[in-house]
Chain A
């Protein structure tokens, strides 16, 4: 089945219905990016990536370049692509040195603590935010709560909550969700992801993970701008 990756949202005058649809599209993009960070690509995801159409003119150069790199990678797969991607995932996110600068460590604490350690203040803060929104780490997730996949999934859930609220006519609840997202981007996700993606561009060798770095940069920037415009107008 052909799928289409979603484009970043724009700030034109919007009805509640339009806003709900945009919120669902944003949720889909957050889910897509989160999945690529969470664990290695498996066969189901690889098949899905091969069947996806990637937007070519979103208005953000980083998003466009990221989607292009992913599409080009998917145009050059071979019998052992899953192994290539698994190797690159380890190379990019785990590294092979005992040095805190050997990979693009996907944890906020590493990039926001003085000594690049895990389980620092950032993890405690995002955990508190999740719990304030009645969310907690799933039992199956063994990594820390400030892993980029979890932070992206938090944004995904807030998008879905906003969409549900808008569809139910509850604009206040939707605005609360949007404000939570904006604060979370400003204080956490958008504040550190750029440093991680800079390392990802340095360490990753496959087009998929290179493209993921550009896509993350462009999408978070665009989404941050969208929320700022939306909430400033409101």
Chain B
């Protein structure tokens, strides 16, 4: 027994009140409000508390999202930008069907240095709802097995479900193929052309042995005159570079191959 405990063990420590009637009202009924208190239009029978809702006002089930998969996927990546690289990693991993446990392990690896409240199941579920992933082998519903006994009784025995796998969909593959981090990086640098020198400095710091910490980059840039108006901090730059795949965090910010190519190009432009 979990929620009801036996009080008899402690009976010796209690004095019973023979006059106590547990069903008797402990508080007098509140007085009916007069018209002045409730307003001239108060209907007879209205007490202090209004009725809370009605069956007719019960919320309807949410409508299914019927937008095209391409639109839903783009919306998901836009809404969850900090998880972009993880989502792309999942889609790449699932270009061949993968057991769910293996995908969960891959997500753990992808998020090893990037803590998230979302686990593999959450993220894959979001990709599934967006139409970028699908579960294979899940169309048929497994039925329990009916076991007949000699005495005429019968029992349902749950059957072992065939393990499902995650696989990328056509829409997911199209999104993956269309992802061009180089183009995104060029677009971002073009947008922030005035800060090319800063981007180069951040890339060079992260190219050093052991990478660079956020504090080190912040200390190096905090007094840079280019970042005073409008006020910008190092995080703006290394987050933009990370989103475009030029930097990666694994305990320190480190440059990627794409980042090296970008740094070379920016350095050449600076010398020109």
CB of A76 within 8 A of CB of B142, answer yes
- Kindly supply a per-residue 1/0 record for chain A positions 108-122, scoring 1 wherever the CB is within 8 Å of any chain B CB and 0 otherwise: 000000011100000
**Closest Cβ–Cβ distance, residue A131 to chain B (whole Å):** 7
In the complex, chain B residues 154-208 whose Cβ is within 8 Å of any chain A Cβ: 154-161, 164
CB of B52 within 8 A of CB of A99, answer yes
Write out the residue numbers on chain A whose beta carbons fall within 8 Å of the beta carbon of B164: 78-79
CB of A75 within 8 A of CB of B143, answer yes
CA distance A67 to B153 in the complex (A): 14
B interface vs A, CB < 8 Å? 1-8, 11, 22-23, 49, 51-55, 57-59, 100-101, 104, 121-122, 125, 135, 138, 141-144, 146-147, 152-161, 164
Known: A72-B144, A97-B58. A54 touches B155 (CB 8 A): yes
A interface vs B, CB < 8 Å? 4, 38, 49-50, 52-57, 67-68, 71-72, 74-80, 83, 96-102, 115-117, 124-125, 127-128, 130-131, 134-141, 147, 149-150, 153-154, 156-157
CB of A80 within 8 A of CB of B125, answer yes
The 7 tightest CB contacts between A and B, nearest first, are A99-B53, A128-B22, A71-B156, A74-B158, A71-B144, A80-B121, A53-B155
CB of A75 within 8 A of CB of B161, answer yes
Write out the residue numbers on chain A whose beta carbons fall within 8 Å of the beta carbon of B101: 79
Known: A83-B121, A128-B23, A136-B5. A68 touches B54 (CB 8 A): no
CB of B142 within 8 A of CB of A153, answer no
CB of B159 within 8 A of CB of A75, answer yes
CB of A153 within 8 A of CB of B2, answer yes
B160, closest chain A residue (CB): A75
CA distance A8 to B103 in the complex (A): 44
CA distance A38 to B1 in the complex (A): 12
Known: A72-B143, A79-B121. A150 touches B156 (CB 8 A): no
Write out the residue numbers on chain B whose beta carbons fall within 8 Å of the beta carbon of A116: 52
CB of B22 within 8 A of CB of A157, answer no
CB of B153 within 8 A of CB of A153, answer no
CB of B55 within 8 A of CB of A101, answer yes
**Closest Cβ–Cβ distance, residue A119 to chain B (whole Å):** 13
CB of B141 within 8 A of CB of A115, answer no
Among A77, A98, A100, A149, residue most surrounded by chain B Cβ atoms (within 10 Å): A100
CA distance A56 to B149 in the complex (A): 11
